[in-house]
Structure 1
Amino acid sequence: MKDLAAGDRVRLDDFHEGRSVQVLHIGPYSQEGPTIARMHDEYMPQHALEPRGDHHEIYLSDARRVDPARLRTILRQPVEATGG
């Protein structure tokens, strides 16, 4: 097994988020902001949804081996109907 420099910071969490909106972001992590903004400011209002809790990210690419322009990340936001 490889010695992972950040291995002591890895954690396993369970998510019981229920209904969620998600999008596949392709590109550098530093450019996720506009994608998240489109989820929150365009898609969710159009579908009478609002955020419920924090979003999270699922990294599909190995940032050590993939060009930043080709990184793939799922951005996932738990939601509820507008007005709770």
Structure 2
Amino acid sequence: MVTYGDLAEMAGYPRAARLAGQTLRKLPKGTKLPWHRVINAQGRISLPEPRAARQRELLEREGVTLLNGRVELGRYRWRP
């Protein structure tokens, strides 16, 4: 699990979280990239419905639990 900001920083674009989100939105349907593992800095899903429901479903299948709509970043956040 990473945040949009984490992803931007890893790509060499610190402070470009919105750009990371815009790029993920452009992924082709059926992509194999784990887009669902990217959330906002508060640990929330930022997508509108019905895509938010799909992201929540994929995360829960992987054993990620959401508490009050949030992912516990201290537990699930990936730090390379």
Structure 1-normalised TM-score?
A: 0.27
Higher relative contact order (CA 8 A, sep 6+): 1
Instruction: Tell which structure's C-alpha radius of gyration is larger.
Output: 1
Determine which structure has the larger strand proportion and give its number.
1
Determine which structure has the larger helix proportion and give its number.
2
